[in-house]
Chains A and B, each alone.
Chain A
């Protein structure tokens, strides 16, 4: 188990935006989280990336209770790809290699191999801010994977991207999960993407985890009527 979390609650200015009784994430699984905008998906990812401390409740990472200060070696096992790629004012290659630079790891062939896998070699020396949206997101994914994270958090990584870029990003996520056993938590609006990639899928509604089940069960015979409605594409509150 990578994460074990209980009574996880997070509030902003006194308003509770996340309230999850229990969440366990298995090592090596791809877990999809779906839910309407404002449900608390991004907030949950920030907590799991130790970017914020929950208002209350516990998070165990690899069986270790996470409190206040999180040791660097633990922080460096988890990384997030956000919906909007935040790139540095530098070349594509420098951006992709940045996580290694932070860790003081000398750059070797792995950088170019990663660039190649995401079709970025032709752009290697180009300033990152001159790329298209899809190319930028591929840079962000390459940068995250290059640090060989134990946990990869993806916050709507392919929203607004064209099918070519979506396919390329989904493929490398699948491959990385298969080859290295990376635990992946994927927040997505795209239920088809959840079906394609995830072993388990969960629905967040107004900060609550309504249902979390095997992806097949989640889509074909959900236990909760709200899940059924969401899967059918009806508005859910």
Chain B
């Protein structure tokens, strides 16, 4: 069978794949661990950057009554729906040797993947934070001011009230980029041991018919998303 060529899947392939997947996970297979670790590192860093920038900006947009608010909102919502693969193409062009940021030498490194995931997650964190802040009862804001809050205290009170929505924004962004494949594939190149993450590895292993490994990776990806959502529900007091 040729490399990269898919073969027909049979039921017992899946069963055997599952069994081997569990064995791989339990054995803490070093290759598997490396891929998980890189995924978390890239996504974690991208999420950290979008959170540090997106939460204050989203909060500011939610609190302020700016002119051109509608336009900003439209831009943000468009950004939230950006096709990741288009972001990947954009980052690829920027970072390619002849591109404007080519001197950085980031293409096919984790830095490029962080850049792409940051661009994907920033509008999500910002837009959802803005929505959460705007949905806080305006009467509460007036009440807080009437109780003698400074401007900063007032903003803080509104943000605190929106905290569940803000955390939901961060979790949604996490779910969006950890499971994203197009952009990291383009700008990272899926190089074994260097830029191979959970999603790109699943694509590769599936193509090669290595279902056990692919399933193991899939299970872990699901587990990560599940844990993130559990944490969110917990925070919302629904668990």
A and B physically associate? yes
In the complex, chain A residues whose CB is within 8 Å of the CB of B140: 86-88
In contact, B150 and A72 (Cβ under 8 angstroms): yes
A80 to B143 CA separation, bound complex (whole angstroms): 7
In contact, B157 and A99 (Cβ under 8 angstroms): no
- Kindly state whether residue A82 has any CB partner on chain B within 8 Å: yes
Contact pattern, B 141-181, Cβ under 8 Å of A = 1, otherwise 0:
01111111110010001001100000000000000000000
The B-contacting residues of A in range 58-106, CB under 8 angstroms, are 72, 75-76, 78-80, 82, 84, 86-89, 98-99, 102-103
Given A86-B137, A88-B161, A102-B153, check contact A51 B142 (CB 8 Å): yes
Q: How large is the interface on B (under 10, 10 to 19, 20 to 34, 35 or more residues)?
A: 10 to 19
A75 to B147 CA separation, bound complex (whole angstroms): 8
In the complex, chain A residues whose CB is within 8 Å of the CB of B148: 72, 75-76, 79, 99, 102-103, 147
In contact, B149 and A102 (Cβ under 8 angstroms): yes
In contact, A143 and B147 (Cβ under 8 angstroms): yes
- Kindly state whether residue A144 has any CB partner on chain B within 8 Å: yes
A237 to B80 CA separation, bound complex (whole angstroms): 52
- Kindly state whether residue B66 has any CB partner on chain A within 8 Å: no
- Kindly state whether residue A49 has any CB partner on chain B within 8 Å: yes
A84 to B140 CA separation, bound complex (whole angstroms): 10
Other-chain contact of B146, A49, A87, A89 (Cβ < 8 Å): A49
- Kindly state whether residue B139 has any CB partner on chain A within 8 Å: yes
In the complex, chain B residues whose CB is within 8 Å of the CB of A80: 143, 146
In contact, A89 and B139 (Cβ under 8 angstroms): no
The A-contacting residues of B in range 118-156, CB under 8 angstroms, are 137, 139-140, 142-150, 153
Residues of B near any A CB (own CB < 8 A) = 137, 139-140, 142-150, 153, 157, 160-161
A–B pairs, 25, beta carbons within 8 Å: A51-B146, A72-B150, A78-B146, A79-B147, A82-B139, A82-B143, A86-B137, A86-B139, A86-B140, A86-B143, A86-B144, A88-B157, A88-B160, A89-B160, A89-B161, A98-B144, A99-B147, A99-B148, A102-B148, A102-B149, A102-B150, A102-B153, A103-B148, A144-B147, A147-B148
The 10 A-B residue pairs whose C-beta atoms are closest, nearest first, are: A76-B148, A86-B143, A86-B140, A86-B139, A80-B146, A99-B147, A102-B149, A79-B146, A102-B148, A49-B146
